[in-house]
Amino acid sequence: MPKIDVCLSPELIHLFDIKEKVVVIIDILRATSTICSILNNGAKEVIPVPDLEKAKKYLRKGYIVGAERGGKTIDGFSYGNSPFDYPSEVVKDKSIVLTTSNGTKALHLSKDADQILIGSFLNLNEIVNKIKTINKDCLLFCAGWKGHFSLEDSCCAGALVHYLSEHFELCSDSGIVTKDLYLQYKNDLMVMIKKSAHFKRLNHFGVNKDFDLCITQNLFNQVPFWNGSSIMLG
Amino acid sequence: MPKIDVCLSPELIHLFDIKEKVVVIIDILRATSTICSILNNGAKEVIPVPDLEKAKKYLRKGYIVGAERGGKTIDGFSYGNSPFDYPSEVVKDKSIVLTTSNGTKALHLSKDADQILIGSFLNLNEIVNKIKTINKDCLLFCAGWKGHFSLEDSCCAGALVHYLSEHFELCSDSGIVTKDLYLQYKNDLMVMIKKSAHFKRLNHFGVNKDFDLCITQNLFNQVPFWNGSSIMLG
């Protein structure tokens, strides 16, 4: 039986051997939720970049570029980290470049993994099905916030642990605590979100509809994967 | 109102500014439980050392030295990391030197804090009272296991968050998840211990009575503190 484990923060990723593993990146508020939305709305690909310099280069080449730090769209960019910034009429058949505070950094830290999937509540069931089909050791990688533990990312990781528990061996305490966390809040994820530090930070920016969307379970039925240069639906 | 926060692993301690703060070191299985026991059994002090070389120097000088790595007593040392290694007749009025896998390392990572207390289930209420009396910003520092999240350390941190919640502002998601963890298991901490990875590791070594002791709440009514060179009752 393959193993499943949870990395609670990018600051802990060096403790895990990710080669040969399937890594699922989770950044609920909002990078991975937004990536799922962009691709579901018809974009050809999402190109994640770790820093603003690279994002500016793409901007000068005429790409649609989303750039966010600390919850806010960076000056000089027209798009941020909200799923609502990327409706179908904006993204259809286009390449979208994205740089965010935590999620795109976690992606680049996972580059040595065997396969890299983009996880969120929006595509929960399909992530579960995909991981079961691949049937290899799996690491759920919570993007967190500036290296800190994040309630909403961990809760989503716990959902995956829970729904995969019959098929994967759970081998760590981080898996147990995240599973317990999901089971505690699964019938009302908004209660969990409203407790989170990230809610308190983002709530000032008037992004309430983002919260509702980002905790909607199973809105989309495809799984984005990262091939090392761009993210596409698998 | 002062703030309370939780550091889930020594690998995350650099994210926190610990100067001016009260730091509580928590390593339930077993360093901080053992330190509380040694001092309650009448030892004059516990001298925590981070590495085996320093421990050997103390051994050559004739000290009683406990040395543990990976759950086992190190060859050449007579004492390990079990509270039962240190009964009153062994430790009364003596200086005990201790080096362990995780707990004594966490101690040395906290050296810049304003005050450093030793926390465990054994002295839970007294730690709560002490922190209330000091009334400064407080960081609960889980020693974890080789940098990984630990269920039992986090559960004890959550107990402290819970009992201090009316007096301290909880300012992070790690505080929320650990509090939820404690509230879930507080009526039967053995259920929590038996789920933990550390139980599975240590259970091979026949230390069952250690588990029973280390989850006993409020057996002792004094708080050990570290003055930078040795740990004594405060």
Q: Could you tell me if A151 lies within 8 Å of chain B, comparing CB atoms?
A: yes
Chain A residues touching residue B149 (CB < 8 angstroms): 8, 12, 172-174, 177
Domain-located, residue B89: yes
Q: How far is A40 from chain B (nearest CA, A)?
A: 30
Specify the pLDDT at position A70.
86
Specify the pLDDT at position A71.
86
pLDDT digits (tens, 9 = 90+) for A75-103: 999 999 999 999 999 999 999 999 998 88
Chain A residues touching residue B177 (CB < 8 angstroms): 149, 151, 154, 177, 181
Radius of gyration of chain A (CA): 16
Closest CA to B9 of B153, B185, B121: B153
Domain-located, residue B120: yes
Structure tokens at A59: 């901007």
Average pLDDT over residues A64-85: 93
Q: Could you give the ipTM of this predicted complex?
A: 0.95
Chain B residues touching residue A174 (CB < 8 angstroms): 148-149
- Sorted by sequence, the CB contacts under 8 Å of residue B181 that are 6+ apart come out as A177, A180, B151, B154, B155, B158, B192
Best probe of the A interface among B145, B177, B202, by most A CBs < 10 A, is B177
State phi, psi for A33 to the nearest 5 degrees: -65, -40
Best probe of the B interface among A13, A15, A17, A177, by most B CBs < 10 A, is A177
What DSSP string describes B144-207? -BTTB--HHHHHHHHHHHHHHTTTSEE-SHHHHHHHHHHHHHTT-HHHHHHHSHHHHHHGGGT-
Domain-located, residue B8: yes
Specify the pLDDT at position A201.
87
C-alpha–C-alpha distance, residues B87 and B43, integer Å: 10
Q: Which residue of B has its CA nearest to A10?
A: B12
Q: Looking at the predicted structure, is the pLDDT value of residue A115 above 80?
A: yes
Across chain A, what does the average pLDDT equal?
95
pLDDT digits (tens, 9 = 90+) for B35-64: 999 999 999 999 999 899 999 999 999 999
Domain-located, residue A145: yes
Q: Looking at the predicted structure, is the pLDDT value of residue A170 above 90?
A: yes
- The strand pairing partners of A75, in sequence order, are none
A12 contacts B148? CB cut-off 8 A: yes
B150 contacts A173? CB cut-off 8 A: yes
Count of other CB atoms within 10 angstroms of residue B52: 16
B147 contacts A174? CB cut-off 8 A: no
Query: Residue B207: which pLDDT band, with cuts at 50, 70 and 90?
Result: confident
Residue B7's H or E segment, with its range, is: strand B3-7
Nearest to B174 among A148, A173, A184 (CB): A148
Average pLDDT over residues B80-106: 94
Q: Which residue of A has its CA nearest to B198?
A: A173
Q: Looking at the predicted structure, is the pLDDT value of residue A216 above 80?
A: yes
Q: Looking at the predicted structure, is the pLDDT value of residue B70 above 90?
A: no
C-alpha–C-alpha distance, residues A231 and B165, integer Å: 43
A154 contacts B173? CB cut-off 8 A: yes
Closest CA to B49 of B130, B114, B103: B103
C-alpha–C-alpha distance, residues A207 and A190, integer Å: 14
Contact A128, A163 (CB under 8 A): yes
Min mean pLDDT across A151-155, A205-209, B136-140 is at A205-209
Specify the pLDDT at position A217.
96
Domain-located, residue A234: no
Domain-located, residue A204: yes
Domain-located, residue B49: yes
Residue A194 falls in which region: left (phi positive, over 0), alpha (psi -120 to 50) or beta: alpha
Structure tokens at A62: 């005429």
Q: Could you tell me if B114 lies within 8 Å of chain A, comparing CB atoms?
A: no
A171 contacts B198? CB cut-off 8 A: no
B147 contacts A12? CB cut-off 8 A: yes
In terms of Cβ atoms closer than 10 Å to its own Cβ (0-12, 13-18, 19+), residue A33 is buried
B195 contacts A176? CB cut-off 8 A: yes
Which strands, in side-by-side order, build the sheet including B64-69? B72-73, B64-69, B95-99, B45-48, B231-233, B224-226, B115-119, B22-26, B138-142, B3-7, B169-170
Q: How far is B161 from chain A (nearest CA, A)?
A: 15
Average pLDDT over residues A37-60: 96
Q: Could you tell me if A1 lies within 8 Å of chain B, comparing CB atoms?
A: no
What DSSP string describes A163-194? HHTTTSEE-SHHHHHHHHHHHHHTT-HHHHHH
C-alpha–C-alpha distance, residues B119 and B32, integer Å: 6
Q: Could you tell me if A114 lies within 8 Å of chain B, comparing CB atoms?
A: no
Specify the pLDDT at position B208.
85
Domain with A149, as residue range(s), is 3-229
Average pLDDT over residues B116-131: 98
Q: Could you tell me if B13 lies within 8 Å of chain A, comparing CB atoms?
A: no
Q: What is the DSSP letter of A79?
A: B
pLDDT digits (tens, 9 = 90+) for A23-33: 999 999 999 99
More confident residue, B104 or B152: B152
State phi, psi for A147 to the nearest 5 degrees: 90, -15
Report the CATH number that the domain containing residue B83 is assigned in CATH: 3.90.1560.10
Best probe of the A interface among B27, B102, B173, by most A CBs < 10 A, is B173
Q: Could you tell me if B171 lies within 8 Å of chain A, comparing CB atoms?
A: yes
Specify the pLDDT at position A162.
98
The domain total for chain B is 1
Domain-located, residue B233: no
Q: Could you tell me if A149 lies within 8 Å of chain B, comparing CB atoms?
A: yes
Q: How far is A174 from chain B (nearest CA, A)?
A: 6
